[in-house]
Amino acid sequence: MIIRTLIPADHSAALDLWRSCPGIQLRAEDGYAGLCAYLQRNPGLSLAGEVDGVLVATLLAGHDGRRGYLQHLVVAPAMRRHGYARRLLDEAARRLHEQGIGKAHVFVLRDAVDAMPFWGSQPGWQQRDDIQVYSTLSGDEGVVSVGAGSSGAWERAK
């Protein structure tokens, strides 16, 4: 697998990949404009994994100047257990470190059956039992636009 920086042109393939994974919640921000805004705000940090020119893995990475945040770590089902996710994680950590960010967080859905053992086995990462996450109730809860490009098809969030 070749790792490179994720770019806006990857959106359609990335969306197809994310849609195939029940562990990933899709939101309005996963539409084309949302991804472009995220990549612009966090240049050079999000990653694409390619095999034979096909997008098989993604990792969104950003930071707030203090902590890093990872989202949408996804490897195509047929490509799993080859160490690809671990490689993406290492590369994101390296790039965050280059920008002065030494600590990062990831929020994992408890019912993401493959993600839980993955994160539990990562050296240098620990499960936090001392933090409870609270999130705003967004106005688009339930139905979100996650269309590729300008097609903007609406679908129900998981």
Ligand X SMILES: CC(C)(COP(=O)(O)OP(=O)(O)OC[C@H]1O[C@@H](n2cnc3c(N)ncnc32)[C@H](O)[C@@H]1OP(=O)(O)O)[C@@H](O)C(=O)NCCC(=O)NCCS
Let me know: does 156 contact 142? Beta carbons within 8 Å. Answer: yes
Q: Which is nearer to ligand X, 19 or 34 (CB)?
A: 19
Q: How far is the CB of 51 from ligand X (least distance, A)?
A: 12
- Does 56 engage in binding with ligand X (CB under 6 A)? no
- Member of 10, 15, 23, 63 binding ligand X (CB under 6 A): 23
Residue position matching structure tokens 């996710």 = 85
- Does 17 engage in binding with ligand X (CB under 6 A)? no
Rounded distance between C-alpha atoms, residue 112 and residue 110, angstroms: 6
Q: Which is nearer to ligand X, 27 or 82 (CB)?
A: 82
Residues 6+ apart with CB under 8 A from 158: 22, 24, 25, 26
Torsional class of 136: left (φ above 0), alpha (ψ -120 to 50), beta (otherwise)? beta
Residues 6+ apart with CB under 8 A from 143: 154, 155, 156, 157
Q: How far is the CB of 118 from ligand X (least distance, A)?
A: 4
Q: Which is nearer to ligand X, 108 or 152 (CB)?
A: 108
- Does 27 engage in binding with ligand X (CB under 6 A)? no
- Does 146 engage in binding with ligand X (CB under 6 A)? no
Rounded distance between C-alpha atoms, residue 114 and residue 81, angstroms: 10
- Does 117 engage in binding with ligand X (CB under 6 A)? yes
Residues within the interface to ligand X (CB under 6 A): 21, 23-24, 73-75, 80-86, 106, 108, 112, 114-115, 117-118, 121
